Every structure is written in structure tokens, then in C-alpha cells.
Structure 1
Amino acid sequence: MSEAQTFIPGNLVRLADRRPHPEAGGSGAGAFATILFPPGLEALRDERGEEPDCFVDLNLDQIVGAAVARRDEDVLRPIFHSPCRSEEVVRYRQAVFADLERPEIFGIFPQFGEAMRGVHANLRYAGEISTGSHRNTVILRAAGLYCEAIAAFLRNLAALELESEGLKGLHAYLADYARSPSFLELARETAAQREALSRVSFGMLFSGDRVKVRKYASEPDYTTIILDRFARFRESGIAPPGPAKPKDDFSLNHIEEAILEFVSRLFPEAFGSLEDYVSRQGNFIDEVVARFGREIGFYIAYLDFIRPLRRAGLPFCRPIVSASSKATAVAESFDLALATRILAENGTVVGNDFQLSGPERLLVVSGPNQGGKTTFARMFGQLHFLAGLGCPVPGKAARLFLPDRIFTHFEREEDIANLRGKLEDELVRLHRSCRAMTADSVVVLNEIFNSTSLDDQIFLSTQVLERILAIDAIGVCVTFLDPLSTISEKTVSMVSTVDPEEPARRTFRIVRKPADGLAYALSLAEKHGVTYAKLRSRVRP
């Protein structure tokens, strides 16, 4: 004889179709609705599924790809693709990050996330079940997990000293929701249904390939009898294994499912009550709770991604941001994607500083090849994008502008499909960018017009930079052309440096100083193999 298992249920319902409980937190302007936007600014949400055009050039695709790996990418990627120009939104998110950076606060969220994943896993499975009794028991199990997750999460939040408006708002919302008639009724009914099913006992008689299911008639439990008979053969002095982590394996094969269906016929009252419960409570997940469960993954994913870099001693900060002031200052920052690879290879990450003040708008970076110029340009773009997301950025301190869009221009291979040469294609792409950019844009240019002569390169590059400066956008331009650093009071010259005692060794430090006139000469010498190091290697006896 065997007892029926008690299951906890689920019903696959589109979260978008759910409505919040009106008693939980209300619907006024001050009510918590999302952990990504402060109350009253939810309308600024404008998430995009596709990657921004700048993603690949700035290696942001690598950063986001690593952050969301093995998570719910369909939910998280649109959040990472959508920076916001609102200072209030950015500071709201920065405060949430600040709370979550405290281990005692961060630790409660993975537990809640794991519980909610169990709820949704049950619900997805329930949507695939054809038999009513099985589907309803899985819905009941999901509801039980949900009620337990809310209660445990609320207890954990209540024990913490929260500072951010976002997490305080969440705590207040959950406290109201847990006291709401709808949730109290859900918890009461769920507990009652589980208790009723736990009292359902039945027996099975096996005869060949036939199974007979009947009500339990006080027959002896053969499992207990067998264990008692073989007790003498048990080994003593061996520590029992620890409890196994529960698996999300709640499926039944067709035989088990048929047995459960027979059991439901033997106990029509209990299973009829369950059917009525599911018809009323099947849509039990609160919309705000569901949205929070999805959105908190954005914070957790990013903090998990940068944690190894922090452990290695690399600095991160919450930048001062502005949507109006273009004064920019960054200390000891670095390319986040490159730093991740370097640390994986036990290398050393070099940080750099930069500043734009007063009328200054454009950093013009020159210097020898392989000196870190392109990495510096990517860092510049990454900082502004991550700041718009509200994320901590690489560096000891930062003051950053919130752009409306980031335009990048990096070298592309020729595309034979568009029937344009490399120079024409470059001109077309830059023309489109210049027409689309505004005074609130950020521009990252990396070695433009390298496919033409020196005179044409200087002329075309000057035209492009003057157009950018006339618009009053801010940005960075990597070039070998020293004259570009002095075309306006809005340009700032920065140079990648080498070891004075060993000019062939790059320091990867980019410093603010006038261009020394050697960058283009060095690039030509390297191209034709006539640098000091290469000449010495050829004439060495």
C-alpha cells in the first residue's frame, strides 16, 4: 500500500495579463511599482530588444553577454540595452546598487529568486499537463511555494537596514500586500487545500500489467515492514548523507498520472474543492511581485559580473551624473571587457584618467601603435553607457554626462554587397552619424580615414571633428594625426606613453599633454619594419 503524494500546483498564465491587487500598495503616484524607476517616472521605461549600434564597437556585447549568461536573457538584455537620461532614475538605481553591495542585503535576493524560479517552473509545467487533477495539484504546489517565498522574503527585508528608496518601497509594498485580503485568502485556502490532500490515502493492487486503485483500508505499510526486516544488515557508525537539494523534477509518467486520475475519482470532494480553488486562485502571482522578480536580476547579474574584478582590487564607483553639465572627470578607470580577459590570464590592468572642463569637448588621443589608445576610447564609451544604466562604473571616482545616444566609428571590413569602396563606405557612415547626432550625444572615433592619403586624411578628419564640435557633442578621437589635437579650444590632446628607457615598451598610460609629433612617424616605421628594435634584430651579428 502507498500514500498519495501531495503536490504543489501551477497554471501557465501570461504575467502581462495579470492585474495587481488593488489593496497592495495602491495605485497612486507614490506607490512602488518597479525597482528600475522611482514612483512617478515609470513612463520613462523604453526597453529595446535589439543591441544598440555602439555595442560591438565598445565591447559592451561581451560585458552584457557575460553578465546575463545562464540567466533569463530575454528579460535582462532589454534592460541592459536601454540607458536612461534621467538623473533621478540613475540615482534611484545607484542607491539600489549601494544597498545590494552590502553582503547581508545581497544575500537574501538569490534565495527569493530561487523560490520564484520554482514557482514559475511549476507554472510552466502545469501548462503542459492535459489531465485536470494533475494540473491542479501542480498549481497548488506553485501557490504554496509562492506564499512561502513572500513570507520569508518579507521577514528577511524587515530585519535589514535599507537605505535606498527602491528597496524601502519594495518592503512597504510587500508589507501591505502580505496584509491584503487577497493574499491572506490565498494563503489560507492554499494551506487548507494542502492539508486536505495530505489526508488522502489510497492503496494499489498490482496484477500483471494491471493496477487497481482503491481507498486505503488500514492495511500494513509494507515499506515499514521491509525496512524493519533488513534493519540488522545496516552498517553502523556511518554518518548519514546530508539532505539532498530538492530538484525541480515534478513530472509524472503516464502510469502515475493515470493513478492520480483514479485517486481523484475515489475522492471527488477533495479534488472537486481543488478544482474550485484553481478556478478562483489560479492567477495568484501579483503583477508587481512578478515584475520585481524579473527586474532584480539586472542588479544581481551586474554585481555578480564585477565581483571578481573587485576581489582583484580593481576600483568601482557610483558616478556623479548630469544630463546638462558636460564637465567630465574620471580617475583610474579601465576597459571592463578587457580587464575581465586580463584577470583571467593573471595579467595587470592599467587604469587611466581623463577630464573635460569649461569649453573642452573632445579628447584627441595620439601615440604609437599598441599603446592602449583604442582601449581608452572603448573605456570612454563604456563609462557613459554604464552610467546611463545606473551601474557602478570602473574607476576610483567619476563625473559623467548622460548622453541621448552614443555614436561610434571603428574600422570596418569592406562589404562587397554595398558596392562601395572602403573610403566611400566610411564617408557614408560618418555622414549618417553626423546628421543624427545632437548636442547631447557622445562620439567615439577610432582612427578614421586610414585608407586614404595623409593630406586627404587630415582634411576629411578636420571636417568631421569641426562638425562634431559645432554641434557641441562630447567625445574621443583616436588618431595618428597630431594637428587634429589643436584645431579648436574644445579639443584636448592626450598621448599614449612609452617607457623612456625602453621606447619599444608601452606603458598603456594615456596622459594629458601636447602631441609630440612622433605618432605618425612611429606608425610608418612600424609598418615598414624600420623601428629601432626591428633594425637591431636584422643587423645583430
Structure 2
Amino acid sequence: MAFHSILFERPEDGPPCGDVEEPEYFGDLNLDQFVSEVTRGLDEYNLTPFFRTELTRERAIAYRHEVMRDLDDPDLRLAVQTFALVMQKMRACLADVQKLYYKRQKQWWFLEAASRYCQGMLAFSSQLMGLCPKSRGLSAFSLWLKEYVDSEAFLNLSRDVDETRAALAGVRYSIHLHGSAVTVLNYDDEEDYSAYVLRIFERFKQGEARDHSVAQKDWPEMNHVEAQILDCVAELNPQPFLLLEAFCSNHADFLDPTIGTFDREIEFYTAYRSYIQLCRDAGLKFSYPVVSGESKAVRCNGTFDLVLARKLCADNVAVVCNDLYLEGAERIFVVSGPNNGGKTTFARTFGQLHFLAKLGLPVPGRDSQLFLYDRLFAHFEREENTLDLRGKLQDDLMRMHGILKASTQSSIILMNEIFSSTTLADALFLCRQIIGEIMERNALCVCVTFIEELARLGPQTVSMVSEINPDRPSVRTFRVRRRPADGRAYALSVAEHYGLTYERIRERLAS
């Protein structure tokens, strides 16, 4: 049977050709850090293009969900890990073939690579058939692999491996050393001198002696003496070495392309599982979201910024989770509150949730329902670039103009404290115009702002407020609640900026 990919349900879904350019919003959402960490140590698989390629169909996302659920089974996960280890060792043998110098040693390591490959495929096929995976991807691959190991091509490869190894294992020879002269002879039932020497010294043995032997380094490369000995052995026993040479010629491309593709693509799933395991060990929850391209109702309980949470878990710091939902006509979160209270993290979380959902991966949180967007845009505050001769306000306006021009009703727009370089009145006017445009398009949006009036522009807007400890206003809880703004966020920000908070005034009076 035909098998396309364990990552892409249909050819139109992927895989991507060559490198995939990093999306513009990656830096704003810290997704560049995510991709860097999730692929660390896996350079041989080149997983970065997969983690930058978003799926566009609901069934394509469900296809990956099924595979991820299968990998929740520890026995199946162990079988996949064993398969990956076999493939790594096979590639290591092939890499030695390229690095080594002497012909017959290169041929031997090529035979060893093919031997490990055959044994690994037979074992993996048997394990998959016994485990009966439920996902469309793994069940289809299991059937394909069974057909492959039963095929004439694979059976010929396995037979040739066994015959060549058996022929080489049957070679016996003797070495006669006399000064610097080395003579290689066919083995003629000569006595084993090592056994003879041991018998002589056995009579003097008094208990177990300490081991004084010096460990010798096992260099992968033969030296010239060993190579010449092997050449002499080949002259005395030509048939096994002719068989080895024929094997290398006849099976130069023994690795099936589908096996090679599967080996690379399955690491996408295991890499993400490894990445989130630290958070799972800390008790954080992940869920398989219901993803819809029709409904813009959004919900996720107990969610969090994945990149930040992983850093906090590594430092044994508790992670604060938040709930979010949009229902009915609601489309825009207007997030207000004091500085350093979790507003920007909330916007990043919203973007990360939807991006991970489009990768077909479990997302941070419980009971998640997310929108299958067409494009994601992020406008986060950046340092002024003196080279483009534009002021910060002009730069903000030009960036937002580009976003609005490229976005559609199916887009997601994230705005983080834009127009902070102008007056409150001007910022309010500009934000009203931009959000009005977004409302007209009916697009999803998160707007982080101090301008709380934006949360009252209509039924499409929802007010979210980052809370503080009521007993200690300077202490942030990092919880972002769905409730009307209290009107003090901007005032508190101004007070902090000019050093007029209660704590700062007390500090100055005390000094």
C-alpha cells in the first residue's frame, strides 16, 4: 500500500521544500526561542522547517493529534525510540564509511550499516503489528512497513547480508611474526598458543590476581600494518571478500526513501513531547484543541506562555495560569492593567496557542477550542531605528497599515502597547480607528493597552485586566481576569513613571 507521510495527511499539506523562512511574528511571540530549544541536539533531522510550517486544514491537524495520542502509549513510544536508535547507529556506520581510508574497512562498515538496518526494520515491523496503533498515520505506516519487509527487494537484501557476514565469519588465518616481518598464512589447525601459555601459568596461580592490563584505545581507523594483513587475508581467501565487494555494489542504495522520511518526521512528535515534559512534570496541563475554520469561539482554561513556563519550571518557580474565552459576537480582547502584570504574556499566550494548534500539537491548558486562522500578525513595541529616519509614531503607523492591508476576516492580530510615543488623546483616536477597522473585518484580536475606553467600543470587545494584590498594589499576581477595567491602570502607570507611587514616596521621605 502507498504511504505518504507521518506528518502530512495529503501531499498538498507538505512536506515543505527546502528551508522555510521564519515568520515575522516569531520574535514577538518568543517562538524563535521555542523552535531553537525544541530542535536542540537534533540537527541531523533538520526539524526547523516542520516547526515553521503551519497546517491549513482541520483534518490535517486531526491527523497529527491521532499520532500524538498513539505516542502517549509507553510501549509504542519505546518502539519508536528503539527504531530511532537503530537508524542513528546505521547512519553512524555510514558516516564511518565516508571518513575511513582503507577500502575493505569501508566495505565492512557499509555491511554493518545494512545489517543493523535489516534487523531494525524487522523488529520495528513486528512491534507495530503487535501494538496495533489507532492513528491513521501509524496504522498506515505499519501496514506499509509489513509489506516492505515481506517484499522481494528487502528479502534479497537480508539474505545477502546474512550470506556475506557468514562468509566473512568463516575466514580463519594465522599470523607469523619474526622481527619486523609479518607473514599471513591460512589457518591449518595450529595450536592456540594463548591457551598453551595459560595452562603453563595455571600451576602458579594463588587466588585472584589484580588486573594490571592497560586499556588500549579502539581507534576506528586501521593502521597500515592491519590494512596490509587484511589484504593478504583477502588474497588467501578471495571468495568472501568478492562477496563483500559485490554486496556493496548491488545494495549501494539499500535505505528505502520512505523509511528515511519516516525516521526524520517522527522526531517532530518526540521532540515536542520532550520539550513539554518539564512542564508536565511540574503539573501543568496540555490538551488537544478543537480547531475550527468556521467558528471564532475561542476557549482555553488554565493556559500559559509555553516558553516562559518552561524556563520557570527549570528554575522550580510556580507558573501562573489564566483562562480565556470569546463567545457570540466577541472578537477582541482589550487587556489593561499595570506594567509588568502579565498583559504582554497574555498576548503572547494567545498567539502561541493558535500557532501550536496549527502545527497539530497539544497546547498549554485544558478544554481548548481555537480558530484556524489564515495569517497571524503581531505588532509589539520595538526600539526606534535611527537608520530609517522615521520617528516611532510614524513607524507604528506604517507597520499597522501594512498589517491591516494584508489581514482578512480570518486573521489574528496582536497589538502590544502601540502609540506609546504620543499623547493619550492622539493614541485614543488612532486606536479607535484601527480597532474599528478590525471590528469591521470581524477578525480576532488582542490589544494590550492603557486606554481602557477601547474595551467599551462595542459587543465585539472584551475587557481583560491584569490584577494586583489589593493589600500591596506594587505586587503583581500575573493573573489576567475577564472583568471591566477599574480606571486606575493608566494612572498607576503614570505614577510609576514619575516615581509617585506610595512605596516610592515613602522611600524618599525615609531618606
TM-score (norm 1): 0.87
Q: Does 1:107 align with 2:81?
A: no
| Residue 51 of structure 1: aligned partner | 22
Q: Distance in 1 between matches of 2:300 and 2:461?
A: 17
> Paired residue for 1:126, among 90, 97, 110?
97
**Distance in 2 between residues matched to 1:286 and 1:392, nearest whole Å:** 31
Structure 2 residue 161 is the aligned partner of structure 1 residue 190: yes
Q: Displacement, 1:237? A: 11
The root-mean-square deviation of aligned C-alpha atoms, in Å, is 2.4
Structure 1 range deviating more: 78-87 or 276-285? 276-285
Q: What is the aligned counterpart of 1:156 among 127, 130, 133?
A: 127
Match for residue 465 of structure 1 among 407, 410, 435 = 435
CA distance in 2, matches of 1:236, 1:198: 34
Distance verdict in 2 for CA 1:204–1:156, change over 3 Å: same
The answer as to whether partners of 2:102 and 2:222 remain within 8 angstroms in 1 is: no
Matches for 1:416-455 after TM superposition, within 5 Å:
416-455=386-425
Distance 1:214 1:354, change over 3 A: same
**Aligned 8 A contact 2:45 2:264 in 1:** no
Structure 2 counterpart of 1:301: 271
**In 2: Cα distance, 1:496 partner to 1:125 partner:** 57
Report if the CA contact (8 A) 1:134-1:260 is conserved: no
Q: Out of 479, 483, 489, which is 1:513 matched to?
A: 483
| Residue identity opposite 1:187 in structure 2 | S
SS at match of 1:176: helix
Equivalent residue runs for 1:473-488 within 5 Å: 473-488=443-458
Which region of structure 1 is more displaced relative to structure 2, 483-492 or 394-403? 483-492
The equivalent residue for 2:214 is: none
SS of 1:265 mapped into structure 2? helix
Q: Runs of 5+ in structure 1 lacking a partner? A: 1-24, 26-30, 239-246
Aligned residue for 1:64?
A: 35
Partners of 1:402 and 1:251 in 2: CA distance = 54
1:262-411 alignment, distance < 5 Å: 262-411=232-381
1:147 maps onto 2:118 in alignment: yes
Instruction: Give the superposition deviation at 1:286.
Output: 1.1
**1:9-24 equivalent positions in 2, closer than 5 A:** none
| CA 1:224–1:290: 2 relative to 1, 3 Å | farther
User: What's the secondary structure of 1:450's corresponding residue?
Assistant: coil
Bigger mean CA deviation after superposition, 314-323 or 527-536: 527-536
What's the offset of the Cα at 1:130? 4.6
Shift of 1:338: 0.8
* 1:420–1:261 distance in 2 versus 1, CA, 3 Å: farther
Q: Give me the whole-angstrom Cα distance separating, in 2, the residues matched to 1:502 and 1:131.
A: 75
AA matched with 2:226: E
Deviation of the 1:426 alpha carbon: 2.3
Q: CA deviation at 1:209?
A: 5.0
Name the CA distance, whole Å, in 2 between partners of 1:363 and 1:85.
Answer: 24
State the shift of 1:296 in Å: 0.6
Amino acid paired to 1:113: A
State how far apart, in whole Å, the 2-side matches of 1:111 and 1:382 are.
32
Deviation for aligned residue 1:423: 2.2
Deviation at 1:255?
4.0
CA distance 1:436–1:229, change in 2 (3 Å)? farther
Contact 1:62–1:337 at 8 Å: present in 2 too?
Answer: yes
User: Quick one: percent identity of the two aligned structures?
Assistant: 43
- On the 8 A contact 1:118/1:248 being kept in 2, the answer is no
Amino acid at match of 1:165: R
Shift of 1:250: 4.4
What code does the residue aligned with 2:75 have? Answer: E
Post-superposition offset of 1:488: 3.2
Aligned partner of 1:495 in structure 2 is: 465
- Equivalent residue pairs, number: 503
SS across alignment from 1:159: helix
